[in-house]
Structure 1
Amino acid sequence: MATANDRAVLQTIFNPSTPFGDIPGLDEEEEEDAREEGDPFAPELLEQARDLELQGVSAAESGDISTALERFSEAIRLLPERASAYNNRAQARRLRGDVTGALRDLDAAIRLSRGRGRAACQSLVQRGLIRRLQGREDEARRDLERAARLGSAFARRQLVLLNPYSALCNQMLGEMLGRLRNPESP
């Protein structure tokens, strides 16, 4: 059986630019651990919430953001202490342009997940990206650092982009490689 690290390596190889789902199966491992610790979610409610989230994801992928928001909200009403639906609803809210609502949901997802697991990782990446777009670089960096510690290769790449020295080195390296490929240009 592959470990979470093995799956993360494969995910990075096959989907190097994906910001979400850097570690496939992480949620399942957490839910198995939670069941061993006495999971507070009844299995039938958990199954219903997951189904609602899947319906929401499908609706969002087909461009029906209103239905997606309804399904994610239903999942939250069903299991208000489960982080995943808040993270998904934040994505739909962001797509609709409701950045304030998205940040509220991301904060809830991070709090409910206790900053651990896939929902926390994805929420930290989303919040970090929003904060970066808002020009809140220090807060974005903190979120992306936390997501990177949780296994997000995308967050690690974003941290490199936030480092001005790294950006300068990348620019100089690109120029040097360009000159090596085409030595006749100035």
Structure 2
Amino acid sequence: MRGTVALASLLLIAAAESAGAQGYQQFTRWCFGDASPEQTIRGCDAVIRWARETPRDTGTAFYNRGLAHAAKGQLDRAIDDYDQAIRLRPDFADAYNNRGLARRLRGDEARALEDFDQALRLDPDDVDALYNRGLALTGLRQYERAIAEFNAALRLKPDDFDALAGRGAARRRQGEIERALLDFDQVLRVRPDNVVALAGRCAARATLGRLPPALADCNEALRLRPGDLPALEARGFVLLRLDRPDAALTDFELVLKAVPRTASALFGRGIARRRTGDPPGGNADIAAAIALQPDIADEFARQGVSES
């Protein structure tokens, strides 16, 4: 009898171990293979918790979970995971690159630039990191350096239409509107659904006073990618020039909900608030924008929008 009980116990243990092994295999497939963000997070949670993998593979698990958190808009969690991936894999260029992306989306261009610099130290020919460094430099208003980064990306990959659109955006911000339009038009002839180029051309056309086609570009960009922040900001600017401050206010508020410390969106919302009967709120926004970027009023004036 005792032998029978002992045998039954061993069989139960073996069955449990087999089920556990099968379950872990499923988690590893979710963590390291193609899966939804939710499945990736669940799978990598298990891989990290059970600690069966090498430090390098555990670093990859943190990285993959970070990508999944970023896809869900959970940027702080994504950054925490990229931190752990880099701790375990200090040579992980992709982790630096994606941590920089998350930091950019949080409005921290300076720290994002540090990450892109490190990614490029590890892999100097990483076209994505060159492109991302160009975006960060544009955000930091270092336009000549940004254009150089986009040109470097284009030398490595001449058909990189995102880099071409990024160069157009830097040129537009620098005031080279016609050259920016050439870049945007070149992209859109081949990739009419390129949202970066559509949003950039919208802003460039608005600066030149071509308001109806500018609005059409922004609307198309937002149809293709609802909630795109550059397109929302550019459309807000167009709507101000079309004397539609209520609609402009809505667009600027959406931008600021995602990235509260955006000087141009704060300034634009301030103007919209003044024009819709809220001078105190408008004044507060404009003061906050000037604190972030002292020449923001001059930048708007060059584009045909005054504070009043």
Equivalent residues of 2:113, 2:137 under 8 A apart: no
Q: Counterparts of 2:111 and 2:180 in 1: how far apart (Å)? A: 32
How has the CA–CA distance of structure 1 residues 65 and 157 changed in structure 2, closer, same or farther, with 3 Å as cutoff? Answer: closer
Q: C-alpha deviations, 1:29-69, integer Å up to 9, x for none?
A: xxxxxxxxxxxxxx955443333222101101212112101
Structure 2: stretches of 5+ with no match in the other structure: 1-52, 186-204, 214-308
Of the structure 1 ranges 54-63 and 130-139, higher mean CA displacement relative to structure 2 is found in 130-139
1:83 aligns with 2:93: yes
Q: How does 1:25-36 map to 2 (within 5 A)?
A: none
Counterpart selection for 1:52 from 53, 62, 86: 62
Root-mean-square deviation over aligned CA pairs: 2.5
Match of 2:235 in 1: none
Equivalent residues of 2:131, 2:166 under 8 A apart: no
Q: Counterparts of 2:177 and 2:103 in 1: how far apart (Å)? A: 31
Q: Secondary structure at the match of 2:73?
A: coil
How many residues align? The count is 127
Match of 1:97 in 2: 107
Q: Counterparts of 1:107 and 1:168 in 2: how far apart (Å)? A: 29
Match of 1:143 in 2: 149
Question: Normalising by the residue count of structure 1, what TM-score does the alignment of the two structures yield?
Answer: 0.59
Identity among equivalent positions (%) equals 31
Q: Counterparts of 1:153 and 1:92 in 2: how far apart (Å)? A: 22
Structure having greater relative contact order (Cα 8 Å, sep ≥ 6):
1
Q: Counterparts of 1:97 and 1:141 in 2: how far apart (Å)? A: 20
Equivalent residues of 2:110, 2:140 under 8 A apart: no
Matched AA of 1:150: L
Matched AA of 1:154: D
Match of 2:14 in 1: none
Q: C-alpha deviations, 1:129-165, integer Å up to 9, x for none?
A: 1212332111001111111123232112333553654
Match of 2:282 in 1: none
Match of 1:132 in 2: 138
Q: How does 1:96-175 map to 2 (within 5 A)?
A: 96-113=106-123, 115-116=124-125, 120-151=126-157, 152-160=160-168, 162=171, 164-167=177-180
Q: Counterparts of 1:96 and 1:159 in 2: how far apart (Å)? A: 22
